């Protein structure tokens, strides 16, 4: 059992981890750290955390595991604030959607990476935010990717794996570089497309009528455009190289489809649509 789990950033992701750890009896005490005192008080009222601190140094000084759940742009300052205040055997991880940027931020803040530093990323979430949106089942049967670095100690990797597994997640490991390439395609691109589509339609003269008559397919496709813009701004910039490569491939596919429609090439249009349906049916669980 973890004596103290400190979560920096008690929102949907951090709050759900706290709930899951407590529900599954993985931790004795959860300490939340956040700049928003009202959010912290609400988290205590809801039973998400047991205590809180607004000062990062005080929040991590007795921690066995620290999980940083803040926007990517804030990672370096958070790591810097905990430097020299961590127990020697503390595990330090995060939930960021871009891993190379997190590793770079940690190197800048710590200088030499601590042996307990093991980046991570739960592939889970909703379009909602805030501790009120958190729930203990968020990670059950969901993937969590950890991306150990060369200095990551085996004991730290195993302890982090045990935490996520205990919350019901399926834990896998890969390099930070490979993670960013995969997530650019499967998560970052879809979010960017949803944001861009809603923004495009919202600027059309007929926007009120467009949204009034939007059916279920539109709502399903654009749901993630209700996600936190601050979080996704940081993700777009942090994983820009991989995202731009994926965007370019997508633009090429759109051009091919558009050319087929202009040429009234029914066979080409059907080929693209049928191929996409077959791929999704084969790989995506309904």
From the list 8, 5, 1, 165, the residue with the least C-alpha distance to 87 is: 5
Q: What is the pLDDT of residue 285?
A: 61
Dihedral angle at the C-alpha atoms of 184, 185, 188, 192, nearest 10 degrees? Answer: 130
CATH topology of domain 178-283: 6-phosphogluconate dehydrogenase C-terminal fold (1.10.3660)
CATH topology of domain 2-174: Rossmann fold (3.40.50)
CB 9 within 8 A of CB 56: no
Give the residue extent of every domain in the chain.
2-174, 178-283
User: CA torsion sign, 168 to 173 to 176 to 178?
Assistant: negative
Report the distance separating Cα 31 and Cα 56, nearest Å: 11
Report the distance separating Cα 221 and Cα 198, nearest Å: 10
> How confident is the chain (286 residues) per 10-residue block, as mean pLDDT?
96 97 97 94 96 97 97 96 96 97 97 97 90 96 97 98 98 97 95 95 86 87 92 94 96 97 97 95 77
């Amino acid at each position: 059992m973890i004596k103290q789990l400190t979560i920096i950033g008690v929102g949907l992701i951090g709050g759900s981890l706290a709930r899951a750890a407590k529900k599954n009896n993985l931790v004795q005490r959860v300490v939340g750290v956040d700049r928003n005192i009202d959010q912290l008080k609400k988290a205590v009222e809801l039973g998400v955390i047991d205590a809180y601190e607004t000062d990062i140094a005080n929040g991590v000084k007795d921690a066995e595991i620290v999980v940083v759940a803040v926007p990517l742009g804030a990672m370096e300052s958070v790591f810097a604030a905990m430097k020299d205040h961590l127990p020697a055997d503390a595990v330090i991880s995060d939930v960021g959607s871009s891993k190379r940027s997190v590793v770079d931020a940690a190197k800048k803040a710590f200088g030499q990476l601590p042996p307990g530093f093991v980046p991570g990323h739960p592939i889970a979430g909703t379009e909602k935010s805030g501790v009120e949106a958190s729930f203990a089942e968020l990670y059950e049967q969901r993937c969590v990717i950890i991306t150990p670095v060369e200095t990551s100690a085996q004991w730290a990797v195993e302890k982090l794996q045990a935490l996520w597994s205990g919350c019901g997640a399926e834990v896998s490991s890969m390099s930070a570089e490979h993670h960013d390439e995969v997530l650019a395609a499967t998560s970052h691109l879809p979010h960017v497309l949803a944001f861009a589509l809603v923004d495009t339609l919202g600027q059309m003269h007929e926007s009120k009528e467009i949204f009034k008559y939007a059916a279920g397919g539109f709502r399903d496709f654009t749901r993630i455009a209700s996600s936190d813009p601050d979080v996704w701004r940081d993700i777009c910039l942090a994983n820009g190289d991989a995202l731009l490569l994926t965007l370019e491939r997508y633009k090429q596919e759109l051009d091919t489809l558009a050319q087929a429609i202009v040429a009234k090439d029914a066979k080409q249009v059907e080929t693209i649509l049928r191929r996409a349906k077959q791929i999704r049916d084969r790989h995506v669980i309904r």
